[in-house]
Amino acid sequence: MRRSDLVQHKEKEKGANTRTSQIVFGERQHLLRVLDSLEGTDLPIARMQQERRILEELIHARTRDLNQINTAWDEKIGLVLSSDAKPEMLEKLV
C-alpha cells in the first residue's frame, strides 16, 4: 500500500468508502495473477470452472470501477505505455 492511499479524506469522515484508481488497479492486477496461478493447479474440472468464473467476475467488476473513475481506462493506459504515442495524443487524455 502506498502512503498516498493512507491519506485521510473528508468523505471517509462521513462514512463513504473512497478507493483510488491505484488501489482498484492493484486489486485487478492481483486477481489476474491469481487467475493465472489457478491455471496451473490440479483441481477437479467443475471446481476449476467455478473458481475461474468467480475470478473473472471480480476482474470485470474492477474494470468497471476503473472505467467509472476514468472512462476507457485500459485504452488510455495502453496509449500511455505505447512507444508510438505522440505528445499531442497524450495531451488529449487530460
Give the CA distances from residue 23 to residues 1, 2, 37, 57, 85, in Å, rounded to whole numbers and listed in that order.
8, 9, 21, 18, 26
Q: Which residue has the higher pLDDT, 6 or 61?
A: 61
Sorted by sequence, the CB contacts under 8 Å of residue 35 that are 6+ apart come out as 52, 55, 56, 59
Q: How many domains does the chain have?
A: 1
End-to-end CA distance of the chain: 26
pLDDT at 48: 95
Give the CA distances from residue 35 to residues 27, 46, 71, in Å, rounded to whole numbers and listed in that order.
12, 15, 25
Q: Residue 21 corresponds to which cell in the numbers above?
A: 484508481
Predicted TM-score (pTM) of the model is 0.69
Structural domain boundaries, residue 18: 3-91
Length of the chain in terms of residues written: 94
Over residues 2-34, the pLDDT tens digits come to 555 565 555 555 555 678 889 999 999 999 999
Banded model confidence at residue 80, pLDDT cuts 50, 70, 90: confident
Banded model confidence at residue 92, pLDDT cuts 50, 70, 90: confident
